[in-house]
Amino acid sequence: MNTPDQTAARVDRLRARFDALGPAGGIDALLVTTPSNRRWISGFTGSAGVALVTRTEARFATDSRYWEQVGLECPDYTLVRVAGANTGVTPAILEGLGGVRLGFEPAEVTVTALEGWTHAIAEMPASSRPMLVPARRAVEDLRMVKEPEELDALTRAVLLGDASFRHASERAAPGMTERDLAWLVQEYALTHGAEALSFGTIIAGGAHGALPHWRASDAPLEVGTGVVMDLGVIVDGYCSDLTRTIFLGEPDERFARVHDIVLTAQTLAEERIEAGMTGAQAHAIAAEVIARAGHAEHFGHGLGHGVGLDIHEDPRLAPASEHVLADGHVVTVEPGIYVPGWGGVRIEDQCVMENGRLRSISTAPKFAL
């Protein structure tokens, strides 16, 4: 939940962008419906509602399940009471906005929702109708630079994720299933302060390690194979993301070689990425190491992504990313090598950009046997 000062400052920052949003002429108000954007701008942690920010006021429309919650979490927002479980854009939240250029979030609004809004506005008297205009990245650009309170929550999430990894990896053994190992992660996290997992834990043993987004199955872990462990937790709404690749038994030469390539790529990337680089330039640092080692075709995803209220957010570290890195950005650095039929290795840290350089928040050991 935001403090009143946080909410006020964020709303002011959003308003300062109004003239630059949407088509020529800017916007006069913004409907915020993306859950994480809605939480960031208002402090509301519930699952249903619409925030409206104008140049002079802020409103929040929701149904009776959340009326009291809005009063507690969004005291600076005027509550608009909606009947039933309908939190679409209703005339009640649009009162007094006749002729206003009303921005909406096109990246998350469905065609059905937009049709509903358009219909609701068309039913209003002509003099009372606002004009809907797309306002791309209105809140997302503000969220990329994390505030001190956000960094504190992110750090606590990362450290709990690290501890969950240590707890589970120390107990990994041949014969247990991937799902057994995933449960050890989850059990530890949820009994030590996590609100939830930030995504379904990936436990990929042996050849499954070649699938970057494999989910834990009932397949047994086998001695003499690698195990990719990708996990994350949520603390105070903020996510962590960590990947380590362990080996059951004494690592063989092939695994040790691939692990060394990935670790070298990750280490160099964390050392050399700096503020002012684009996400594409950052990605290239690790990609070049892997390519020179003969595994270019085995590294097909981006080097990393932003993490915050969402597990995947901007900025992105990827071949096509034009995001310019800056202090306050929190990103993952996670190169990997994936060989079909054999397995894979991925190593991932969560890092913050400070004084123009990356600092790893993650503390988990990078080679656990």
Mean local confidence (pLDDT), 170-195: 98
Q: What are phi and psi of 213, to 5 degrees?
A: -115, 35
pLDDT for res 183? 98
Helices in 170-297 by DSSP H: which ranges?
178-190, 253-272, 279-292
Mean local confidence (pLDDT), 78-90: 76
What is the chain's mean pLDDT, rounded?
95
Q: What are phi and psi of 10, to 5 degrees?
A: -70, -40
Q: How does DSSP assign 343-360, residue by residue?
A: EEEE-BEEEEEETTEEEE
Least confident of 57-66, 78-87, 287-296, 298-307: 78-87
pLDDT band at 23 (very low <50, low <70, confident <90, very high): confident
* Structure-token pair, residue 18: 């109004």
Higher pLDDT, 367 or 172: 172
d(CA 5, CA 171): 45
pLDDT for res 83? 81
61 has a pLDDT exceeding 80? yes
Q: What is the pLDDT of residues 93-112, one digit of tens each?
A: 899 999 999 999 999 889 99
87 has a pLDDT exceeding 50? yes
Mean local confidence (pLDDT), 118-141: 94
Residues sharing a CB contact under 8 Å with residue 162, sequence separation 6 or more, in sequence order: 242, 362, 363, 364
d(CA 196, CA 189): 8
pLDDT for res 4? 82
Residues sharing a CB contact under 8 Å with residue 96, sequence separation 6 or more, in sequence order: none
Q: β-strand 238-239 against 242-247: which pairing, if any?
A: unpaired
pLDDT band at 89 (very low <50, low <70, confident <90, very high): low
86 has a pLDDT exceeding 60? no
Domains, the chain, in order of start with CATH, read 4-143 (3.40.350.10), 148-360 (3.90.230.10)
pLDDT band at 369 (very low <50, low <70, confident <90, very high): very low
pLDDT for res 143? 97
Q: What is the pLDDT of residues 243-287, one digit of tens each?
A: 999 999 999 999 999 999 999 999 999 999 999 999 999 999 999
Using DSSP, state whether 278 is helix, strand or coil. Answer: strand
368 has a pLDDT exceeding 50? no
* Structure-token pair, residue 78: 């005027």
pLDDT for res 108? 87
Distances in whole angstroms, Cα of residue 201 to Cα of each of 178, 197, 280, 349: 10, 8, 28, 16
Q: What is the pLDDT of residues 143-163, one digit of tens each?
A: 999 999 999 999 999 999 999
Helices and strands, counts by H and E, the chain: 9, 19
pLDDT band at 85 (very low <50, low <70, confident <90, very high): low
127 has a pLDDT exceeding 70? yes
Residue of 283, 306, 309 lying closest to 296 (CA atoms)? 283
